[in-house]
């Protein structure tokens, strides 16, 4: 199988455009838990987290729905913390990752990586990417921000132990060849510390640093989003100090090559020309749909979803849900394609946040 790299990102929606000449459903993400041992201030699913859970969707039903997808290139599991409950790990996480791997799909799990290393070894045979959040410029940021929404916080020593476990696990897993991709959200809290955050991610051995602007969803609604000028400058500043030997992936950027602003195009040109830098077209709503093992709703994004349900696993195939979304009036305002720069336009959150009155289908990008 082709190695995941800056030239092959299985979660890049444009791969479908290249292979099939159109967008197809090739990517699914499943929420397998509402449990988490943290309550991060930036969490985009925080209000769905709970102290207990009762999965309702049988594994066989979920797999039968996945079987119906003709082109499954990428598969992800998220939460909550998917590795917290061993029952869930045994009954859903491992079987789903094994299934996807056996189908030839690339696999990813989102974890805070604070649990015993032995637990992660249960999934590494079936795992391509272990995705973590890293928004911690200092240990204090982790102690405070990682538990900001928790009423009864663990002791400071317990929280510091979790931070150290995350670091030790990252080093161990990357040494074993697992791709650990650390994501940093750009907001007013993280921007002053981007250099330190990047240096820490490199020191942990992470092969990729993901950078995404923060959009106000769920717990993250309490944080102050960065303005477009501040976000633009933060990316320039990060490019100035980054380790060029580490892959840096930018996602859900609110800047487009069809912009009338020369500073937007200048930034995108720099990103396009930078060593080991990629800009991902967001897969949600283009090549990916999301679901969960609780009520089986099929939705466009796994967080802050204001777009409604497209059906449930009990009564709707993923393909039918995808066609419903593709034919929706909202998607009609988002779905655009500029081959010159391989851009598929904004996702729903970006458009609603920054470009509510812009018709991207009326704009055309020029090559860099």
Q: Over the stretch 270-316, which tens digit does the pLDDT of each residue have?
A: 999 999 999 999 999 999 999 999 999 999 986 555 568 999 999 99
Sign of torsion over alpha carbons 336, 337, 341, 346? positive
pTM, entire model: 0.94
pLDDT-derived band at 256 (thresholds 50, 70, 90) equals: very high
- Residues 167, 173: contact at Cβ < 8 Å? no
Does the structure show a pLDDT above 90 at 54?
Answer: no
Provide the 10 A C-beta neighbour count for residue 275.
10
Tokens 């045979």 correspond to: 125
- Residues 316, 77: contact at Cβ < 8 Å? no
Instruction: Output the six-digit token pair for 261.
Output: 């602003």
Per the omega criterion (within 30 degrees of 0), is the bond before 269 cis? no
- In angstroms, what CA-CA distances link 162 with 16, 132, 159, 208, 248? 39, 14, 5, 22, 26
Distance of alpha carbon 306 from alpha carbon 299, whole angstroms: 9
- Residues 63, 99: contact at Cβ < 8 Å? yes
Instruction: Output the six-digit token pair for 356.
Output: 């509510």
Nearest alpha carbon to residue 209 among 169, 181, 171: 181
Q: What is the pLDDT of residue 325?
A: 94
Does the structure show a pLDDT above 80 at 33?
Answer: yes
Q: What is the pLDDT of residue 351?
A: 85
Beta strands in 27-178 (DSSP E): 27-31, 74-78, 106-110, 129-133
Instruction: Output the six-digit token pair for 31.
Output: 């929420």
Number of residues in the chain: 368
Distance of alpha carbon 163 from alpha carbon 200, whole angstroms: 12
- Residues 301, 45: contact at Cβ < 8 Å? no
pLDDT, average across residues 149-164: 93
pLDDT, average across residues 110-128: 97
Q: What is the pLDDT of residue 347?
A: 84
Give the full edge-to-edge strand order of the sheet including 74-78: 277-280, 247-251, 208-213, 179-186, 129-133, 106-110, 74-78, 27-31, 288-292
């Amino acid at each position: 199988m082709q190695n995941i790299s800056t030239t092959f990102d299985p979660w890049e929606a444009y791969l479908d455009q290249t292979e099939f000449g159109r967008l197809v459903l090739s990517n699914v993400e499943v929420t397998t838990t509402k449990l988490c041992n943290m309550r991060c201030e930036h969490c985009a699913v925080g209000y769905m987290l709970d102290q207990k859970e009762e999965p309702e969707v049988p594994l066989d039903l979920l797999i039968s729905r996945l079987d119906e997808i003709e082109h499954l290139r990428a598969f992800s599991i998220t939460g909550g913390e998917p590795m917290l409950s061993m029952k869930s790990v045994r009954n859903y996480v491992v079987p789903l990752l094994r299934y996807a791997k056996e189908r030839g799909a690339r696999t990813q799990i989102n974890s805070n990586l604070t649990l015993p290393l032995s637990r992660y070894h249960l999934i590494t045979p079936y795992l391509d990417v272990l995705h973590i959040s890293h928004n911690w410029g200092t240990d204090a940021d982790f102690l405070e921000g990682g538990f900001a929404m928790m009423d009864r916080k663990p002791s400071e020593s317990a929280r510091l132990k979790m931070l150290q476990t995350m670091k030790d696990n990252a080093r161990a897993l990357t040494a074993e060849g697992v791709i650990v991709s650390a994501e940093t959200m750009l907001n007013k809290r993280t921007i002053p510390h981007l250099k330190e955050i990047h240096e820490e991610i490199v020191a942990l051995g992470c092969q990729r640093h993901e950078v995404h602007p923060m959009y106000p969803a769920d717990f993250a609604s309490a944080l102050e989003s960065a303005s477009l000028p501040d976000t633009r400058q933060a990316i320039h500043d990060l490019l100035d100090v980054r380790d060029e030997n580490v892959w840096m992936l930018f996602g859900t950027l609110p800047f487009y090559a069809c912009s009338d602003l020369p500073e937007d195009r200048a930034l995108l040109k720099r990103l396009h020309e930078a060593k080991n830098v990629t800009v991902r077209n967001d897969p949600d709503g283009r090549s990916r749909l999301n679901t969960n093992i609780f009520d089986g709703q099929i939705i466009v994004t796994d967080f802050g979803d204001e777009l409604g349900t497209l059906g449930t696993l009990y009564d709707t195939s993923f393909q039918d849900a995808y066609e419903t979304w593709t034919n929706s009036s909202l998607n009609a305002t988002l779905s655009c394609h500029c081959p010159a720069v391989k851009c598929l336009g904004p996702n729903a959150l970006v458009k609603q946040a920054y470009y509510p009155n812009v018709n991207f289908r009326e704009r055309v990008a020029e090559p860099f």
